Structure 1
Amino acid sequence: MGRRRTNILLKTYNTLPINQSATRAAVEERLEEVRQYRQLGFFRQEASITASYEPRYHGSTFVINKPSENLAIRNVDKETELIRKSELLDKAMKLLTADQREVIERSYLDDEGEYDFISCGEMGISDRTYRRIKASAIINLAIAMRLEIYEEQNNVGQANR
Structure 2
Amino acid sequence: MIRAGRVAAVIAAGMAGLAPAASAVPPPNNGAREFKEAEFWLQMGRTDVGIPLLDRSCTLGHGLACTYLGLIYLQEFYPTYGAYESYLMIVPNYDGAIRTLERGCELGQAYACARRGHMLRTGTGGATDREGALGFYERACALNHAESCQVADELR
TM-score by length of 1: 0.24
The structure richer in helix per residue is 2
Higher relative contact order (CA 8 A, sep 6+): 1
